[in-house]
Amino acid sequence: GESVGLHLPTLSVQEGDNSIINCAYSNSASDYFIWYKQESGKGPQFIIDIRSNMDKRQGQRVTVLLNKTVKHLSLQIAATQPGDSAVYFCAEVSGGSYIPTFGRGTSLIVHP
Amino acid sequence: DVKVTQSSRYLVKRTGEKVFLECVQDMDHENMFWYRQDPGLGLRLIYFSYDVKMKEKGDIPEGYSVSREKKERFSLILESASTNQTSMYLCASSIGQGFIQYFGAGTRLSVL
User: For position A96, what pLDDT does the model report?
Assistant: 75
Q: Which amino acid is at A107?
A: S
Q: Mapping DSSP to helix (H, G, I), strand (E, B) and coil, where does residue B48 land? A: strand
Cβ distance B103 to A44 less than 8 Å, yes or no, reads: yes
The β-bridge relationship of strands A10-14 and A72-77 is: unpaired
Interface of chain A against chain B, CB under 8 Å?
A: 4-8, 32, 34, 41-46, 49, 89, 93, 98-100, 102-105
Structure confidence at residue A5 (pLDDT): 41
In this structure, are residues B32 and B47 in contact, taking their beta carbons and an 8 Å threshold?
Answer: no
Provide CB contacts within 8 A for A61, sequence distance 6+: A77, A78, A79
* Measured distance CA(A64)–CA(B41) in Å, rounded: 23
**Residue B22: closest CA among B31, B34, B30:** B34
- pLDDT of A4 > 70? The answer is no
Binning pLDDT at 50, 70 and 90, where does residue B76 land? very high
Nearest CB neighbour to B40, from listed A8, A34, A42: A8
CA distance B96 to chain A (A): 9
**What confidence tens digit (pLDDT) does each residue in A58-97 have?**
999 999 999 999 999 999 999 999 999 999 999 999 877 7
Q: For A6, name the nearest residue in chain B, comparing CA atoms only.
A: B40
Residue to test with chain A: of B21, B43, B60, B87, most A Cβ within 10 A: B43
**In whole numbers, what is the pLDDT of chain B averaged over residues?**
94
Q: What is the pLDDT of residue A7?
A: 66
Q: Which whole number is the average pLDDT over B10-36?
A: 96
- What is the CB neighbour count within 10 angstroms for residue A110? 20
pLDDT class of B98 with cuts at 50, 70, 90: confident
Residue B17 contacts by C-beta under 8 Å, 6 or more apart in sequence?
Answer: B78, B80, B81, B111
Distance CA A108, CA B52 (A): 38
**8 Å CB contact of B40 and A43:** no
